[in-house]
Amino acid sequence: MWEAVQAYPPQGRPVPSVPPDSLHKTREPSLGKRKVFIIRKSLLDELMEVPHFRTIYHMFVAGLCVFIISTLAIDLIDEGRLMMEFDLLTFSFGQLPLALVTWVPMFLSTLLVPYQALRLWERPQSGGAWTLGVGLGCLLLAAHTVVLGILPVHVAVEYQLPPASRCVLVFEQVRLLMKSYSFLRETVPGTLRARGGEGIRAPSFSSYLYFLFCPTLIYRETYPRTPNVRWSYVAKNFAQALGCVLYACFILGRLCVPVFANMSQEPFSTRALVLSIMHATLPGIFMLLLIFFAFLHCWLNAFAEMLRFGDRMFYRDWWNSTSFSNYYRTWNVVVHDWLYSYVYQDGLWLLGGRARGAAMLGVFLVSAVVHEYIFCFVLGFFYPVMLLLFLVFGGPLNFTMHDRRTGPAWNVLMWTLLFLGQGIQVSLYCQEWYARRHCPLPQSTGFSEHELSRCGIPALLASRQVESSQTRH
């Protein structure tokens, strides 16, 4: 499943010599394979060297210029002045300093607790001192989990953080939890296998600190490094990431807000719902591409360059996928590596190396729940559109549209389903967002008011339309 893997040898045995080019072709069991980091560039960096592909990038930049020109033209016609207003951007990143302050204890907890717990467990396994150390380490990890699990949620709900500031907290929450788990998962087994004597020395603190910032979720004591830092490349990627944020604001402001902000003022119908989904497919797929380019390419490459991290394969050519199983593997290689190592492989180990379907289902469940949690955290309400799309459509498509499906027709089908899926998400989430603002509940009902969906958008909009009609008469 990976481009570079090697078998994890049993303790004390050498790594089997398998030619790198043929390793992925062998039918060696997936149980025991490890991610191997090598120096390589990101795929888009290689493609950008081709003038024909670079022109596609220029077309997206031209699209941003068109959005800017249209905004200025509308302001000039309506207001008689040329001024760029970023109300949506300002609202989304409101209270960002509070989110950054909240991040500090989250990071310090991740920096100190897992490493200190490992140091407690590396002591010689004899007497009651080691048992006490194990218990203390477990208590520290429990406190660390509570801090990462509760603190960002409390701050987001208590201070009503807007969506982008919530994004900072929830992505850091998930990232730090995944990094903590990877560090302990890779180092604790060796510590616990030690018998008597000195035990196994914990890795250096500097290697753990480097791991917390480098763009991977798989811990290794060392990684391949590039010889120097290209600061112009860093600045270029950060500038492109900022441009993607502005691009997304223009798309939401011009293609989504005018459509969905007034839906609660109109009679609800199935036709209106279907048309809203079709209308949302274009901005939805644009948002998908912008998130991919801004985060998986620009943001991760900027940090990789600053830290001289050599392996830049954060994604593969997912756009050429002819099956959803390949799409899930290549869209986000960083997260896929973590899921493959610690959910799929560990699931196979628990099942005795069998029931691969059950292990894959476990990966889908974990991924679906975490994605839905992120949406719930960012938007401030529970509306399981993503969860249902993952479980009802994503899972079956993963097993039916498998790697044996090849040919351009399957790639067209995959893109068609991506368009429709993005349209459904953008349409339903936007409708729920504005329904909650235009149709507030008459009184506070605690958790249900803030977190749960309002009993279905159609019924809510229809009831509010009836009430407004009665008021007018």
The DSSP code for 299 is I
DSSP string, 250-278: HHIIIIIHHHHTTGGGS---HHHHHHHHH
Please give the Cα distance from 361 to 372 (Å, whole number): 16
CB neighbour list of residue 398: distance below 8 Å, 6 or more residues apart: 324, 325, 328, 360, 364
Instruction: Give the separation between CA 138 and CA 117, rounded to whole angstroms.
Output: 7
Output the CA angle 72-76-78, nearest 5 degrees.
Answer: 115
Neighbours of 333 (CB within 10 A): 21
Structure tokens at 120: 């407690």
CA distances from 21 to 4, 16, 111, 341 (A): 9, 14, 38, 21
For 42, phi then psi, to 5°, come to -70, 150
3-state secondary structure of 40: strand
B/e letters for 296-316, b = 16+ CB within 10 Å, e = fewer, are bbbbbbbbbbbbbbbbbbbbb
Asked about 154 being catalytic, the answer comes back as no
The one catalytic residue in 58, 154, 297, 371 is 371
**Tokens representing residue 3 in the block:** 């481009």
Number of helices (H) and strands (E), helices first, in the chain? 21, 2
CA–CA separation, 24 and 364 (whole Å): 23
Residues 6 or more apart whose Cβ sits within 8 Å of residue 358: 347, 351
- 399 and 363 Cβ atoms separated by less than 8 Å: no
The structure tokens listed for 404 are 């044996």
φ, ψ dihedrals at 187, nearest 5°: -110, -30
Residues 427 and 277 sit within 8 Å (Cβ to Cβ): yes
Catalytic residues: 371
